[in-house]
Structure 1
Amino acid sequence: MTSTILPLSEPYGAVSCHRAGEGSPLVLIHGVGMQSAAWGPQIEAFAQTHEVIALDMPGHGGSAPLPEGTELPDYVAWLHAVLQALDLGPVSLAGHSMGALIAGGYAVSHPENAARVALLNGVFRRSSDARAAVEARAAEIRAGSFDLETPLARWFGQNETDQAARAQVGEWLSAVNLAGYAAAYTAFARGDSTYADGFAGIPCPLLALTGDGDPNSTPAMAQAMADAAPQGRAVVIEGHRHMVNLTAPAAVNAALQGWLDTEGAPS
């Protein structure tokens, strides 16, 4: 796996990514507080057949942050600049959590560049109570409150596999740039409906996947995303929560393989 820095023009700055394998491009975008390494099981599996490009989101890993006050469309514009710089042509695009919001927004905004899109543990049209709760957490983060244990308790169960993944995710969260984390979490809190009306116009195969124990990226949301897209399909992994790509990699990779095997968007 090769680490690469893309020197984009302002306002984006440096973008860090990890590339592995050869073949048709598969681009991966992680969630808030994570980094490209959070896709480890997927990079290992799909680099056997694809060129896998795992991006560090702005303000995470080695990527420069976006300016203060950015919203979800700014992250979508950032992704477009990255993909234009990489000059890959249409890509298979997968995002987790905040990355799913970016990927879904990109498929709406730039359908010609998305051969297919996978949204793992994404959010879609939160209830008013859920939106208020996540916006309150975003305000606390912007004020400098960094609560490590609450998200980890929400994301992981008590079995051995979950606890091993929890330890690694805890290390990534502890190392995150707080300003980048706050900016991304604010966009995440406000972005669940930004592109929702556009899902009906996504022409490519869409996979919406989550764990049945994820209280915020719920199975109902996954089904709603799949139902909204012409070629949508929902997959729910039983017995898992928010970091399902780490706690159930075999099941997630099987679902992603089926998605990759579907015919892409028409040219």
Structure 2
Amino acid sequence: MTNFLQWHQRVGTQRDWMWRGWQTRYTYLRPDGARNQGAIKLEDTEAKPIASATSTTPIILLHGFGASIGHWRQNLAPLAENHTVYALDLLGFGASQKAPVNYSVPLWVDQVYDFWLTFIREPVILAGNSIGSLICLAAAAAHPDMVAGTVMISLPDPSVRAEAVPAWLLPAILAVENLFISPIVLRPLFSLASKPAVVRRWVGFAYASPEAVTDELVEILAGPAGDRGAARAFCALFKAVGNAECGPGVKTVMRNLTIPMLLIWGKQDRMIPPRFARPHQFVECNPKCVELVELDNAGHCPQDECPEQVNQAILNWLSRNFAPVA
């Protein structure tokens, strides 16, 4: 069913939060709010969101590279029917400040943890897409007091290259990569890549369904490129995600966790192809805790391509693992 509300009207109550002196954006939606969407709500305040009366586990949504809160516009309300749901714009992305820092998974984990300490302070479900899912996993390992479970959509594994490439070849590969991630190369690339027509083509590669690449989606992804410091942040972000040590080895972390974990993968994912990523190996390393759902006709961002299927998969998993407290 088509939703005619603008995306800003479908992502809950947006607020700005100062983190380490940088402005960051987040949103939240409570079960009552999920049934009363409509007006755009943007409050410049650090007041704590009013806690929901529901006794279900809260959820925090973390977007992928180049995305933002808006990428969850088709998921927030369905998940908030019975859970308080938060979504963050990670530092450097979306409406959050394009800070002059060295970006890394540990930095974003710190952002998520400090947000949790400030506003929530009870165990949550972390759900992420792409690098957002890697942040979920790293946060679960670093802060077990925060994370009750994780949902990881299209999970990248930084250790894959180290395992696949001979050690003697790595220096040559790194030298070539350092050339291509220099600001001299990346700044002109940013000018090109931030154009809506180019964004549309890039998303068309990431998505399996052309009809899912809408004008609204292009607006969400291309809009932040006009922010102050966006070009500089793009260079730093590109360098961060290209670093083989940007995050933990997935299997190493997974086998040591005892929380419920849900993996969701699009069978037509061209960014992290299942035939290369072999997501079943993650289930095998911790079969008691890890579940895998593979979706037909879905690419790298199934939460946006086929939201009904992803929402239902998450809700089913939640009902099996996180019954409401009486």
Q: Is the 8 A contact 1:208 1:223 kept in 2?
A: no
**Structure-1 separation of matches of 2:61 and 2:179:** 26
Task: Check conservation: 1:91, 1:116, Cα contact below 8 A.
Answer: yes
Please tell me whether the aligned partners of residues 121 and 209 of structure 1 are also in contact (alpha carbons under 8 angstroms).
yes
1:86 aligns with 2:119: yes
Counting only pairs closer than 5 Å after superposition, residues 87-236 of structure 1 correspond to structure 2 as 87-124=120-157, 125-127=159-161, 128=164, 139=181, 143-144=186-187, 145-146=189-190, 147=193, 148-149=198-199, 151-157=202-208, 159-160=210-211, 162-164=212-214, 167-176=215-224, 177-190=230-243, 191=245, 194-196=248-250, 197-219=252-274, 220-229=277-286, 230-236=288-294
Q: Does 1:55 align with 2:65?
A: no
TM-superposition CA deviations, 1:77-122 (whole Å, max 9, x none): 2211111111331101101111111111101111221111011112
Q: Indicate if the aligned counterparts of 1:4 and 1:18 stay in contact, CA closer than 8 A.
A: yes
Q: What is the percentage of aligned positions where both structures have the same residue? A: 21
Q: Distance in 1 between matches of 2:61 and 2:141?
A: 17
**Structure 2 equivalent of residue 5 of structure 1:** 16
How far off is 1:247 after superposition? Answer: 1.0
Output the TM-score relative to the length of structure 1. 0.85
The answer as to whether partners of 1:43 and 1:52 remain within 8 angstroms in 2 is yes
Residues 40-79 of structure 1 aligned to structure 2 (within 5 Å): 40-79=73-112
Shift of 1:136: 7.4
Q: Structure 1 regions of 5+ residues with no counterpart?
A: none
Contact preservation (8 Å) 1:100, 1:122? yes
CA distance, structure 2, for counterparts of residue 37 and residue 138 of structure 1: 30
- Alpha-carbon distance change, 66 to 202 in structure 1, aligned in 2, over 3 angstroms: farther
Structure 2: state its 5+ residue gaps.
1-11, 31-51, 225-229
The range that moved more, 239-248 or 186-195, is 186-195
C-alpha deviation, 1:71, in angstroms: 2.0
Instruction: Provide the residue aligned with 1:263 in structure 2.
Output: 321
The match for 2:304 among 243, 246, 256 is 246
Deviation, 1:64, is 2.4
User: Rg larger in 1 or in 2?
Assistant: 2
Greater shift, 195-204 or 174-183, is seen at 174-183
- Scaled by the length of structure 2, the TM-score of the pair is 0.71
* CA positional deviation for 1:44: 1.5
